[in-house]
A and B are shown apart, each in its own frame.
Chain A
Amino acid sequence: MSGNYSLLFLCFFPMVGSIISYLLGRWNKKVRDFFADGVVLVEFLTIVVLFFKASTLNEEPLQFTWNLFCMRGLQLELDGFRVLYGSVAAFMWLLTTIFSREYFAHYRNRNRYYLFMLMTLGATMGVFLSRDLYTTFIFFEVMSFTSYVWVIHEETPEAMRAGQTYLAVAVIGGMVMLMGLFLLYTATGTLDLEKLLPAVHAVWEEKNAMLFLSGALMVFGFGAKAGMFPLHIWLPKAHPVAPAPASALLSGMLTKCGVFGILAVTSNIFLHNPTWGFWIEMIGVVTMFLGALLAVFSINLKRTLACSSMSQIGFILVGVGMQCLLGEENALAVRGTLLHMVNHSLIKLDLFMVAGAVYMNLHKLDLNAIRGFGRKKPLLMFSFLMGALGIGGIPLWNGYVSKTLLHEAIVEYTELLHHHGGNVALFKTIEWIFLISGGMTVAYMTKLFVCLFVEENNDKKKQKTYDEKKNYWSKESMVAIVLSACVLPILGFTPYLTMDRLADLGQEFMHGEAPLHKVHYFAWGNLKGGLISIAIGAFLYLCVIRTLLMKKNEEGKKEYINAWPEKLDLENLVYRPLVEKLFPTVFGAIFSFLDRYFISVPFVQKVLPTVFGTIFSILDKYIIQIPVSVFVTAGTFLTRVESSLGDWVIAFLRKTTHKQLGYERSVIAEDKLAYTLGVAWDDLDEKLHHDGQEHPSHVAQLMESEEKIVRTFGIIKGSFAFGLLLAAIGLMAVLIYVLMAS
Chain B
Amino acid sequence: MTASRLFVLSPTDTLFFRDGRPYNQGDEGLAHAHSLFPPHPSTLTGALRAALALGRGWDGGSAWGDDLTKVLGDGPDMAGGTLRFGAPLLLRARNGGWEPLYQAPRALVGTDAFALLRPGRPLDCDLGERVRLPEDPDGLRRKPVEDLWLTAAGLALVLDGRAAELDARHVVRSDALWTAEPRVGLALDTASRTARHGQLYAPVHVRLAEGVALAQPVEELPDGWEPARLVPLGGEHRTAMVDLMAEPPVPPQATAFRPAGDGARRCVTLVLLSPARVGEGWLRPGTPPDEGWSDAEIVSACLGDPLPIGGWDSRPGPARGPRPLRPFLPAGSTWFLHVPEGWSPPCPWLGNPTDARHGFGRFALGTFPDIHTDIHTDTGADPQGVV
Are A and B subunits of one complex? no
